[in-house]
Amino acid sequence: MKTSTLKIVTGGLLIAMIAFGTASFETSNDKTNLGLTTNSPQPTYHKSVAVNGVNIFYREAGDANKPTILLLHGYPTSSHMFRNLISDLSGKYHVLAPDYPGYGRSDQPAMTNFEYTFDNMSKIVEGFLEELKVTKYSIYLMDYGAPIGFRIAAKYPERVDALIIQNGNAYEEGLSDFWIPLKKYWKDHAVEDGKALEGFHALAGLKWQYTHGVKDSTKISPDNWNIDLQHLTRPENNEIQLAMFYDYRTNVPLYPKWQQYFRDHQPPTLIVWGKNDVIFPAEGAHPYKKDLKNLEFHLLDTGHFALEEKGDEIADYILKFLNKNNIK
């Protein structure tokens, strides 16, 4: 068929479709008309903001008019640990993941000018939220993110939509034998005790944290520990990590306060916990059942950094849980 004939035929079909009301036109940039729903993953943006004089790097995705999920990373990593989860949640939620000072791509102020404590880290995250004018949020709390996030949640309970807890303690039952050398450091603060802990942020220690307890270590990208090493090997960062190890002792006396917050305010809470983690073992997950009534509980067959092996499963749990609790 010649091109001119084809044009006539297709033109006739188009006129017929209009006559019978079967033709449709793309007249806007509405993504739903292109087969892309608003639940599709949104781009992740990499930004920074000054908080109390410190440049804080963060990842952001999703519509800022939708409910916010604040992702708080653990030791010894950064917002990089949430790279896939951010995408998975971004179609339905506004997602924010900051790096703490001294971690990831955020500034590392000299220890003479900045207190590397959990109290101060929580103030930085508070300031971060204030700078972005975010006053309502759900919080994903993992490892160090738990004591940072619980400080904020207990201080501003009215701002918290929900808690998502992944291998983060609020009960002493979770302080297993793994913590014996740390407790010794808390008690004596001896240089030799600190030296014994430095292996955790050396290459072998990092790899162990990512791979111990997983079902298939070939699913765990070596990029994780290599990226972490980039900030851990900065000058003075070893001393910063030891300062945070020592300051962790200040979290334990706050456990009763956080437990009272759970009882008084009953935030909807989702537990998604790597049950093979020896740092924060499953014994630390079960006590949440004592104080929280609206609790969904999942132990996952993986290790400390559960998102690396069970990320899709965790994202699915989060989306269903928040939807069930009308956070949408």
DSSP string, 150-199: HHHHHH-GGGEEEEEEES--SSGGG--GGGHHHHHHHHH--HHHHHHHGG
Q: Which domains does the chain have, with CATH numbers?
A: 3-32 (no CATH), 37-324 (3.40.50.1820)
The two tokens of residue 222 are: 């070596």
Q: Is the preceding omega at residue 76 within 30 degrees of 0, hence cis? A: yes
pLDDT at site 38: 57
Token pair recorded at residue 293: 């009534």
β-strand partners of 57: 48
What pTM was computed for the model?
A: 0.88
- Give the Cα separation of 168 and 141 in Å (integer): 6
Give the residue among 117, 118, 112, 123 at the shortest CA–CA distance from 56.
123
C-alpha to C-alpha distance for 228 and 243, rounded to whole angstroms: 18
Three-state SS at 50:
strand
The catalytic residue among 94, 201, 231, 304 is: 304
Please state whether beta strands 54-61 and 44-51 pair in parallel, antiparallel, or not at all (unpaired). antiparallel
Average pLDDT, whole number, for the chain? 91
Positive or negative CA dihedral for 39, 45, 46, 48? negative
Question: Along the 328 residues of the chain, how does pLDDT read in single tens digits?
Answer: 444 443 333 444 333 333 333 333 333 333 333 333 458 999 999 999 999 999 999 999 999 999 999 999 999 999 999 999 999 999 999 999 999 999 999 999 999 999 999 999 999 999 999 999 999 999 999 999 999 999 999 999 999 999 999 999 999 999 999 999 999 999 999 999 999 999 999 999 999 999 999 999 999 999 999 999 999 999 999 999 999 999 999 999 999 999 999 999 999 999 999 999 999 999 999 999 999 999 999 999 999 999 999 999 999 999 999 999 999 9
E-only strand ranges, the chain: 44-51, 54-61, 68-72, 94-98, 137-142, 160-166, 269-274, 295-300
Query: Could you read off the pLDDT of 249-285 as tens digits, one per residue?
Result: 999 999 999 999 999 999 999 999 999 999 999 999 9
User: Is there a catalytic annotation at residue 80?
Assistant: no
Rounded CA separation 10/126 (Å):
61
Q: Give per-residue burial for 41-75: e unless 16+ CB within 10 Å, then b.
A: ebebeeeeeebeebebbbbbbbeeebbbbbbbbbb
The encoded tokens of residue 292 equal 């929280």
